[in-house]
Amino acid sequence: MSAPLLEVRDLRIEFPTRRGTLVAVDGVSFDLAPGEILGMVGESGAGKSMTGMAIIGLLEPPGRVARGEIRLEGRRVDRLPDAEMRKLRGRRIGAVFQDPLTSLNPLYTVGRQLEETILAHLPADRAEARRRSLALLAEVGIPAPESRLDHYPHQFSGGMRQRVVIALALAAEPRLVIADEPTTALDVSLQAQIISLLRRLARERGAAVLLITHDMGVIAETADRVAVMYAGRLAEIGPVREVLKSPRHPYTVGLMGSIPRLQAGGKHHAPLVQIEGAMPRLTAIPPGCAFHPRCPRRFARCDAERPEPMAAGGALAACWLYDGPRR
Amino acid sequence: MTAVAAWARRAWDHDLAWRFRHSPLAILAAALTLACVGGAVLAPWVAPHNPFDSASLNLSDGFTPPAWLAGGRATYLLGTDDQGRDVLSTILYGARISLGVGLAAVLLSALAGVALGLAAGYFGGRLDAFLMRVADIQLSFPAILVALLIDGLARAALPRDRHDAIAVYVLVLAIAASGWVQYARTVRGSTLVEKGRDYVLAARVIGRSPLAIMVHHVLPNVMGPVLVIATIHVATAIITEATLSFLGVGVPPTQPSLGTLVRIGNDFLLSGEWWIAVFPGAALVVLVLAVNLLGDWLRDALNPRLR
Amino acid sequence: MTDRAASSRPLVRVADVGRDFDVSRPWLNRVLEGAPRLRLRAVDGVSFEIAQGETLALVGESGCGKSTVARLLVGLYPLSRGRVEFDGVDLALAPPAEAARHRRRMQMIFQDPYASLNPRWRVRDIVAEPLRVLGLAATRGEERERVAALLAQVGLAPEDAEKYPHEFSGGQRQRISIARALSGNPEFLLCDEPTSALDVSVQAQILNLMMTLQARLRLTYLFISHNLAVVAHVADRVGVMYLGRLVELASAAALFAAPRHPYTRMLLDAIPDLEMSGRPRTPVAGEVPNPLAPPAGCAFHPRCPHADARCRVERPALRPAPGGSVACHAVEEGRL
């Protein structure tokens, strides 16, 4: 059992606003093993993107890490000065964001951007950097890479651009890749291509991936483990098969039930499971369990004490239903 | 009463009001503008003398220096000009004309510019192409020249006394005509963006007429930048009017504005009676600066990206 | 009032419609560069019918023309070719007053909940706009009651009428959009990706709401979506579009159980497997070609594993097949 690549302990991210403090992430803890793909799933405002941003050190002020620790290969990275963080980014942590249009600099050729990243982080000269860039483009499946190296981002189609972004993220051979909604802006046929590419490359290079998305389908295809976020807290975390097939936390149960399935086969079937109400505003999170006002299985303890993730079947769920003998 | 109180409370808490309260520059600029405008509006009550009442003038009081210099008198705080008119009073009355012309010109300019910009943006096609070419052509002339042109045409077309009577209106028209383009362009750009938005499409599906959509749906959403342009335009309009008056082609001498005062004082500048030109000039600078600062602050405060 | 359609005649009939967009560079540029006029065939020869009370879904990836079809139907774009009939009336040929009267029986719901409501208007004005235009409420009081009833129908409170759109979440704004669409008592609702911008749990609420409303108010839906799983829940029949053409049209049951067209199969295969059944899948090939220069013959042939010489030159027509119709030479020839 090797040491975890990434350790997040009790992470708390706050945004001081004029109307009070907004807690975007509240006490989240998880590990990521080398070569593992952890999916972080949740709806808008659940705090998954914030967690990714905090790990890579790109939290926009006034947002800040108010409490907790983030350790990469044993070394604390949450309070590093900018200069140190910049060295980490690219070399140890790579990033793939949602919009390929804005992830690439439109004024430089793709080859130049790749070479610059390689030169900045790895001991190589220009010629070697160019060779590696070529190899990277080929690896991500860009046809005729020699000619494409000197093309600008706008000369690539959407799917190809996202492949270039993946190449860029992997250029300096990072151990950890943070992918924030990498396929959301793409058509479904492209999505399939990109997520299989990401998975294959991660496996081949032994890089761990934190895959942040709202799409459970992408998680099912790609991740080894999944963490379900709700209102800035971890609701459930465990192996993908376990959480998706036998969800324990009532929110996860509701979420899985509300996803439309192809098997429905047309109208005139049961309505989709719907969770009443909406996710609470981050400035007004209910006491105790954040989900309790919407939970069909709540009882007395739920609005008084906040549950921490506890053993529930093969996973961990933050729910009092799983606290020892039944109440 | 409570509805008004509730509205007042909301206005106070509004983002813009909060920014205003926390910006010393904005407060200073607003205070200055208010002082100038207040002085101008209340001139008949605030001014120590009435400089346009020839009966009250005393030619022997002419060329009195400001009160703190030798030969000055307290009743003529900033001195008098060659005709014995109190400089302070003429500044207050002159500011009236300057502000009046400036505000009227901006209002007219904004109205025309916004209307044309909306039409050009919404209908597109030939109307848009035509209006934008007219705008382009006009922009290749300096604004002053355009104003001069219109004013000159009016002078040539009308006999002297007729012209004097409506000179102020011609001036307002001239300055307005020189400034409509910036409104039209901005509004046209915003209209092009809003026109494609789903809420406008929804209104079309409901069956609203293009005019109704432009006025009720698009206009409220494109007015933001117009406010900023207008504020800064007030300053420009005042300067334009002052320039034209200084050149002698603005307001008639019977209703002098700040620019006219500077022209009058200009003749005496080097012969020692500097106060006749300097004080009106300083008043002009303070007024324009205050309005400009306010406009700048407003533009930054309303810019969502700078937040 | 509204005249409900006779039960035998389809409510909506679309015959061979086409829409071209002129995407040429500006005139001056064309003259100076000698560039030709560029025409984009966004929709090319699409035909279908929708029966009263039915939900027809149009699916396809971005740029396939499904949204354009909806806008053609509702009159936001003029037709370049073809005919649209509503309740038997050809809308392009009818006198303007009659066409307008029929147009009022259809309404549209848009994709982006943040752009489909005027941010400067209060909710009550937004929802009441069709009422006012159609003159359906005689007094202010009546209008207020009607708005409150509509809001209740979509699950919102009467007090919400006084608020502005920015005070609501995405799901609530879509409810307001639905309330606005229903306020003129339409029979036919075009839904352009109504839940694509919403979270999955909110989507479930909105889809359930739309199904309930359809049953209660006997509405007919044209449901546009890129998400086949959503379509599997709401549609009676499904049309699959590719590069402006309809490649398959079948009942939902038939389409999902036995898809015929190679593109439909590819789409279904590409959908992530939430059941984690480990079913075998053919990897997806290529990307959608540039719509300005569509392939000759069958638009899908460059990506199709079953393409032959005929596919490269001859465009397949939509022909009946068990369960619906398909536009594919391979299916017609029995190769598939």
Chain B positions in Cβ-Cβ contact with residue C128 (cut-off 8 Å):
none
Is C129 within 8 Å of B208 when comparing Cβ atoms?
yes
Q: Which of C59, C61, C191, C201 would you mutate first to test chain A, the one with the most A CBs within 10 A?
A: C201
Collect all residues of chain B within an 8 Å Cβ-Cβ radius of residue C183. Answer: none
Domain holding B277, by residue range, is 22-306
- Asked if residue B225 belongs to a domain, the reply is yes
**CB–CB contact B205 C117 (8 Å):** no
Residue holding tokens 């690896």? Answer: A139
Q: Which residue in chain B is spatially nearest to C131 when comparing CA positions?
A: B206
**What is the pLDDT, as a whole number, of residue C5?**
46
pLDDT on residue B304: 59
Q: What gap in Å lies between CA B82 and CA B59, rounded to an integer?
A: 8
Mean pLDDT to the nearest integer, A139-145: 88
Residue C117, chain B, CB below 8 Å: the answer is yes
Question: Residues of C numbered 192-251 whose beta carbons fall under 8 angstroms of chain B's beta carbons: which are they?
Answer: none
Among A260-274, B98-112, C91-105, the least confident range: A260-274
Residue C115, chain B, CB below 8 Å: the answer is yes
Q: Are A170 and A117 in contact (CB under 8 A)?
A: no
pLDDT at C322: 82
A129, containing H or E segment: helix A126-139
Q: Do C133 and B208 touch (CB under 8 A)?
A: yes
Is the pLDDT reported for residue C7 higher than 70?
no
The helix/strand/coil state of B122 is helix
Distance CA A176, CA C93 (A): 63
With contact defined as 3+ CB pairs under 8 Å, the chains touching A are C
Decide which of C323 and A153 is more confident. A153
pLDDT score at B307:
40
Per-residue pLDDT tens over the stretch B157-169? 887 776 777 788 8
Chain A residues in contact with C233 (beta carbon < 8 A):
260-261, 264, 267, 269, 272
Judge: A255–C200 Cβ closer than 8 Å, yes or no.
yes
Which pLDDT score is estimated for A100? 76
* Residues A215-246: tens digit of each pLDDT: 898 999 889 999 999 999 999 999 999 999 99
- Per-residue burial over C88-124, b if 16 or more Cβ lie within 10 Å, else e, is eeebeebeeeebeebbbbbbbbbbbbebbbbeebebb
Please tell me the total number of residues recorded for chain A in this structure.
Answer: 327
Check CB contact of C74 with chain B, cutoff 8 Å: yes
Of B207, B220, B221, the CB nearest to C133: B207
Q: What is the pLDDT of residue C2?
A: 43
Query: What mean pLDDT comes out for the span A50-77?
Result: 89
The answer to whether A264 contacts C232, with C-beta atoms less than 8 Å apart, is: yes
Whole-angstrom Cα distance, residue A151 to residue A6?
36
| C112 contacts B198? CB cut-off 8 A | yes
The reply to whether residue A192 touches residue C228, judged by beta carbons under 8 angstroms, is no
pLDDT at B52: 75
Q: What is the mean pLDDT of residues A54-72?
A: 89
Structural domain contains residue B15: no
Interface contact flag, A258 C200, Cβ < 8 Å: yes
Cβ pairs A/C, distance under 8 A: 139
Asked if the C-beta of C182 comes within 8 angstroms of chain B's C-beta atoms, the answer is no
| pLDDT average, residue stretch C180-184 | 94
* Residue B3 pLDDT: 66
**Pairs of CB atoms within 8 A across B/C:** 51
Min Cα–Cα distance to chain B from C134, Å: 9
C201 and A258 in contact by Cβ < 8 A? yes
Inter-chain touch C266–A159, beta carbons under 8 Å: no
Q: Which of residues A278 and C218 earns the better pLDDT score?
A: C218
Q: Which chain B residues touch C74 with a CB distance below 8 Å? A: 205
**What is the domain-level CATH number for residue B61?**
1.10.3720.10
Contact residues, chain C, for B198 at CB < 8 Å: 110-112, 115-116
Residue A272, φ and ψ in degrees, nearest 5? -65, 145
The pTM for the full model equals 0.85
Nearest residue on chain B to C121, alpha-carbon basis: B217
The helix (H) or strand (E) run that includes residue C221 is strand C220-225
Cis peptide before A62 (omega within 30 of 0): yes
Residues in chain C within 8 Å Cβ distance of A291? none
Q: What number of residues does chain C have?
A: 336
Q: Is the CB of residue C267 less than 8 Å away from at least one CB of chain B?
A: no
Residue of B134 and A269 predicted with greater confidence = B134
Q: Which two tokens stand for residue C41?
A: 């065939």
Cβ–Cβ below 8 Å for C115 and B206: no
pLDDT per residue, tens digit, chain B (307 aa), is 566 776 777 666 677 777 788 888 888 888 888 888 888 888 888 788 887 777 777 777 788 888 888 877 878 888 888 878 888 888 888 888 888 888 999 999 999 999 999 999 999 888 999 999 999 998 888 878 888 888 888 888 887 776 777 788 888 988 898 889 999 999 999 999 999 999 999 999 998 999 999 999 999 999 888 988 898 899 889 888 888 888 877 787 777 888 888 888 888 888 888 888 888 889 889 988 888 888 888 877 776 554 4
Chains that touch C (3 or more CB pairs under 8 A): A, B
Write the residue in C253, C256, C274 that is nearest to A259 by C-beta: C274
Q: How far is C65 from chain A (nearest CA, A)?
A: 14
Please give the residue of chain A at the shortest CA–CA distance from C259.
A265
Confidence band of A325 (pLDDT split at 50, 70, 90): low
Query: Which residues of chain C neighbour B208 with C-beta distances below 8 Å?
Result: 129, 133
Q: How far apart are CA A10 and CA B291, in angstroms?
A: 52
| C174: pLDDT strictly greater than 90 | yes
Extents of the domains making up chain C:
262-336
For residues A74-80, give the mean pLDDT: 86
Q: Is C48 on the interface with B (CB under 8 A)?
A: no
**CB pair distance less than 8 Å for B198 and C110:** yes
* Mean pLDDT computed over C297-309: 90
A188 vs C205, C226, C252: nearest CB: C226
**Cα A248–Cα A254–Cα A256 angle in degrees, nearest 5:** 80
Query: What's the full length of chain B, in residues?
Result: 307
C132 Cβ under 8 Å from any chain B Cβ: no
C8 phi and psi, to 5 degrees?
Answer: -85, -35
The verdict on residue B7 lying in a domain is: no
SS3 (DSSP) at A236:
strand
List C-alpha distances in Å: A295 to A33, A233, A243, A253, A277: 32, 16, 18, 10, 10
Taking CA atoms, A130 is separated from A106, A119, A133, A319, in Å, by 19, 10, 5, 52
* C-beta separation of A133 from A171 below 8 A: yes
Instruction: Give which of C215, C179, C168, C210 is closest to C193, Cα–Cα.
Output: C210
Could you tell me which chain C residue has the CA closest to the CA of B213?
C118
| Number of domains within chain B | 1
Mean pLDDT check: name the lowest of A138-152, A197-211, B240-254, C106-120: B240-254
pLDDT tens, position by position, A200-220: 888 888 889 999 999 898 999
Q: Report pLDDT for A179.
A: 93
Per-position DSSP letters for A147-163, written without gaps between them: HHTT--GGGS-HHHHHH
Q: Which range, A68-82, A180-194, B106-120, C23-37, has the best average confidence (pLDDT)? A: B106-120
Of B17, B34, B2, B19, nearest to B291 by C-alpha is B34
Of all residues in chain C, the one with the smallest CA distance to A253 is: C201
* Residue B307: half-sphere exposure toward Cβ, Cα within 13 Å: 11
Query: Would residue B13 count as lying in a domain?
Result: no
Q: What is the pLDDT of residue A196?
A: 86
Q: What residues have CB less than 8 Å from A202, skipping those under 6 apart? A: A35, A37, A177, A208, A209
Instruction: Report d(CA C137, CA C1) in Å as an integer.
Output: 13
In this complex, the residue of C169, C226, C274 whose CB is nearest that of residue A261 is: C274
From C72, which residue of chain B is nearest by alpha-carbon distance? Answer: B205
Q: Choose the mutation target among B132, B199, B208, B217 for the interface with C, i.e. most C CBs under 10 Å.
A: B199
8 A C-beta contact, residue A20 and residue A283 = yes
The string of pLDDT tens digits covering residues A288-298 is 999 999 999 99
Contact predicate B96/B40, CB 8 Å: yes
Q: Which residue of C has its CA nearest to B219?
A: C120
**Candidate from C108, C120, C180 with C-beta closest to B221:** C120
**ipTM (interface predicted TM):** 0.88
What domains lie within chain A, and their CATH numbers? 6-258 (3.40.50.300)
- Please state which of the ranges A28-32, A86-90, B215-219, C178-182 shows the lowest mean pLDDT: A86-90
Identify residue C73 by its one-letter amino acid code.
L
Are C283 and A196 in contact (CB < 8 Å)?
A: yes
Contact C76 B204 (CB under 8 A): yes
The predicted model gives C48-55 an average pLDDT of 94
Alpha-carbon gap, residue A199 to A36, rounded angstroms: 10
